[in-house]
Structures are given as structure tokens and as C-alpha cells.
Amino acid sequence: MIDCPRIVIGGTESGAGKTSITLALVAALRRRGARVQTFKVGPDFLDPSYLAIASGRPCYNLDGWMMGRDYVEKLVARVTADADIAVIEGVMGLFDGAEPDSLEGSTAEIAAWLKSPVILVANVYGMARSLAAVVKGFATFERKVRVAGVIANHCGSVRHGIMLAEALQASRLPPMVAAMPRGAMPELPSRHLGLVTADARDIPPETLEALADAFEHYSTLSEIVNMARSAPFLYVEAPGRKGLAERMRLGVAYDTAFHFYYRDLFDELEDAGCSIVHFSPVADRNLPERLDALYLGGGYPEEMAAELSANGPMLAAVRGFAASGRPVYAECGGLMYLCSDLETVDGKRYPMAGLLPAGTKMHKGLQALSYVNVTLKEDSLWGLAGQSVRGHEFHHSTLTANPAGIEGWLPVYSVKKRWLDAPVEEGIQKGSILASYLHLHLPSRPRALEHFIHTCERKPADEQ
């Protein structure tokens, strides 16, 4: 059962200020002693790192298009079981998603599934009574979505906020629950598609205190909590966790260069008998002992290219591991690490692991941003030919050559993108090595996880 009070922080558009507002709300709630479980709508690895620090708990992604309703509901039921309140940060504008004519993949879809009230964040710079027209449109656009309150962000003054609240009240619209003046909250660093992936140095306690102070001062926090409590109980059929004994040990690259992972993937892997062992391609000289497979996820290897290239012992260890025939899975940044070299935007080239017969080149502009539907052309680490999984891609680099057909490398993904009529080939595989630019959402595909673990797990002969 989902009986946790919950609220969705949606926006009128990207850039309205959802992330700062959500962080401030979470910090204020936590300062009052609440156990806050955070979620981020959409395929995002950046905002969740901030939300995890603010809440002191792991943040989980919710994506209707990639995961499906059943998985979303079960995930929320599981991770909110010991929480006092759930705060869900939206993506883009409230109704923006995978399709232009439906709720699919949008913040609104998640709010509708979870029957969660929405607080709408609007950038009100240069706006007066027009805010009422905007809010009326959002509040009446989709009957399955309930806009319960409004946060006016970037107000010009206290009087400006009062005027906006009066405009909403006069039109009998959802009430103003916060009017945040411009400059009231500390700035957060930004890069690429959003925020820098956070650690405690980027968002120290004093920053969280400043965020909480601002929110406490300019909002009616108790009213927001009451809105969250208005969310009804939801009954979800969720089987108990398996909690199997260790079947395999998965080495996961995790450091300043590699940290784009969905938290629920590790939850599901561990529950199915996979032990997660972190290592750092930047700092460690050797791989951990007794590993059965490697997972090199996404991140910012271009920012640490010199350090990664200089760590010869680790590069040799990864090459040796791959040569042993044990599985290696590399995703986006991990693919870049397995290539022959990495060229940064300033034209400098750094040798990498050299397993893939191609290099990568960084570009200033985004090279790909899309949901993807993947069908396996061949048997792979994540399933058998014909099976499918969903995911997304976003990257600023490109391959300098197509490895397909070179030295035994073959494409194993048939990828359908919404704006392309025909599928494209992706996912380069050779033996037990699979590398791709795509970020697959695997925890919502239990058959894929079981296939992976079964492929990697130690057999009796391996332990003799």
C-alpha cells in the first residue's frame, strides 16, 4: 500500500526553478524532523544526486515511458514504506513527455498514477494577472491531474507576490503557497543538461540551511504538508523481496568520472543475488578481487580524461579482465573509456583502454537526446534475440569510426527513435563485451536482470 503523504513539484516549463524549489522544500521538511523520500521524474542522473544529499536518502527516478505503471507504483510503495512524506520533482513542463498528444512520459502521468496533488512552479518575472490565466490552463487541462497550489518564483518584490496571490484568489484558482523573490535562494552550479552531479562539497550544510531558511520565510509550509496528506491511499500488489544469497559479484565503476546509474537497478540486482562492489577507474590501481563481471556506467569521463589515461595499471586490469572472457558492460561514458582514445573539446587526445577499435570525440553541442526502444538482434548480456527494453540517450561525444564489422565487433541493438522512420543499429558486442551509448532502464525488466545474472554467475567449475 502507498499510504505516504506525497506532493509533485511540477513546472510550467523547463527553467521555472523546480530543482531549487524542490531542494528548498526538502531541506525545510527535513529540518523539521521529517523523513523525506525524494523522486525525480524522467531519465535524469543529475538532479537525483542533489535530492539525495538534501534528503539524506537515495533518490529514485520515476519514468512512465521507460518503466510502466506497475513498476512505478511498486517502486514508490517499497521505498516510501518508512518515510513521512514523498516529494517528487517533475521534468520539463508539467505536461511535457514522450508524446505530443498524451500524458506518456510526463510529470502529469506520474501525478495521475500516484493520485498525487501537484504544486505548480511558475517563473513570474514580468507577470501579473496573466499568472491566473496560466494557472487556469494548467489546472483545467487534464482532469486526471489535480493542481493543488502554486509557487510564484522570481517575484520582483513582496508586493508583487501579494498581487499574484490576489489574482489567483479572485479567479477561484489553486492558492499561492510560496512567492519566492529573485535572489532569495543560493545559486546552484550548472553544466551540460542541468546541474553538476553533486557531492557534499557542491551542496554543503550551509547551502541547505540557506535554502530551508528561504523556503520557510516565503512559503506556507504547513499548507503544503496538508496538500501532501490529501493524497489518497493506493493499494499495490507487490510481492515480497527475494533476498537471494550471493550468486555473483559485479564490479561497478563509481567515482567522479562514472556515476550515472539508476539506484533501483542496484536494489533489484542485490535482491536477486548480485553483490555490488564499487571501484574507481580514476583512483584505484587494480580491480577488486573475485569479480564476475564489470559495469562501466555513464558520467563525465571527459572531465577526468587525463587522470583516467594516466592510470595505466587500471587500464591494463580492465583489458585483462575482458581478455579473461568475463562479461564487461559499458554504457555511454563507459563506452568512451573502452575506446582507443578520447578527444576533448580543446583537441587534446588521451589514450584509453583500447578494447573498442574506435575513438570518441567531444563536442560543445549535444549530439543525441531521445527515448529509445531497443530490440535485441542477437543474444546479449541482457537477453535473447527478439527481446526488448526501453531507455534513453544523451551525450556530447561521438565515435570517430564505426566499430561494426571490425575485429569481430557486431551491432546487437535495433533501436527505434520516435522521429526516425526506420530503426538504427547500436550496441556493439564482441564475445562477452557489450558497449553502447544508450542508458537502458533495466530494473523494470526482471527477465533482463535474471538473464544477466545467470550469464555472469559463478558455476561450480569456476569455484574449484
**CATH number where 31 lies:** 3.40.50.300
Q: Could you read off the pLDDT of 74-85 as tens digits, one per residue?
A: 999 999 999 999
CATH number at residue 399: 3.40.50.880
pLDDT at 109: 98
Q: Are residues 270 and 340 in the same domain?
A: yes
Give the domain-ending residue among 179, 195, 229. 229
- Counting the structural domains of the chain, the total is 2
Give the residue carrying C-alpha cell 551525450.
Answer: 395
pLDDT digits (tens, 9 = 90+) for 335-383: 999 999 999 999 999 999 999 999 999 999 989 889 999 999 999 999 9
Q: What percent of the chain has pLDDT over 70?
A: 95
Instruction: Work out the pLDDT band at 203, boundaries 50, 70, 90.
Output: confident
pLDDT band at 190 (very low <50, low <70, confident <90, very high): low
Q: Which structural domain range is residue 135 located in?
A: 6-229
Do the strands 60-62 and 147-155 form a parallel or antiparallel pair, or are they unpaired?
A: unpaired
Asked whether the predicted pLDDT for residue 425 surpasses 80, the reply is: yes
Q: Same domain for 278 and 201?
A: no
Q: Tell me whether residue 270 is in a domain.
A: yes
Q: What is the pLDDT of residues 147-163, one digit of tens each?
A: 999 999 999 999 999 99
Whether residues 288 and 422 fall in one domain: yes
Whether 194 shows a pLDDT value over 60: the answer reads no
Q: Do 221 and 338 reside in the same domain of the chain? A: no
Residue that is last in its domain, among 197, 229, 261 = 229
The answer to the question of residue 88 being in a domain is yes
CA separation for the pair 293, 285 (Å, rounded): 18
Residue 348 falls inside a structural domain: yes
Q: End of a domain among 229, 259, 287? A: 229
Question: For residue 268, is it within any domain?
Answer: yes
Alpha helices (runs of H) in 234-349, residue ranges in sequence order: 263-271, 305-310, 312-323, 333-338
Task: Provide the pLDDT for residue 421.
Answer: 82
Other beta carbons less than 10 A from residue 131's beta carbon:
22
Is the pLDDT score of 91 beyond 80? yes
Q: Concatenated DSSP letters for 318-329?
A: HHHHHHTT--EE
Q: Are residues 122 and 165 in the same domain?
A: yes
User: Based on the domain organization, do 225 and 258 belong to the same domain?
Assistant: no
Looking at the structure, do residues 206 and 292 belong to the same domain, yes or no? no
pLDDT reported for residue 459: 60
Residue in the structure block whose three cell numbers are 558497449: 435
| Residues 93, 135 share a domain | yes
Query: Does residue 401 surpass a pLDDT of 60?
Result: yes
- Whether 238 is covered by a domain: the verdict is no
1 pLDDT tier (thresholds 50, 70, 90): confident
Q: Based on the residue annotation, tell me whether 274 is a catalytic residue of this protein.
A: no
Cβ atoms of residues 35 and 54 within 8 Å: no
Question: Are 224 and 341 found together in one domain?
Answer: no
> Considering 4, 155, 274, 332, which one is annotated as catalytic?
332
| Matching residue, cell 510560496 | 178
Q: Is 224 found in the same domain as 259? A: no
- Kindly report the number of other CB atoms within 10 A of residue 232's CB atom: 9
183 plus 269 within the same structural domain:
no
158 & 197 share domain: yes
Q: Record the pTM.
A: 0.94
* Cβ burial 329-361 (10 Å sphere, 16+ → b, else e): bbbbbbbbbbbbbbbbeeeeebbbbebbbbbbb
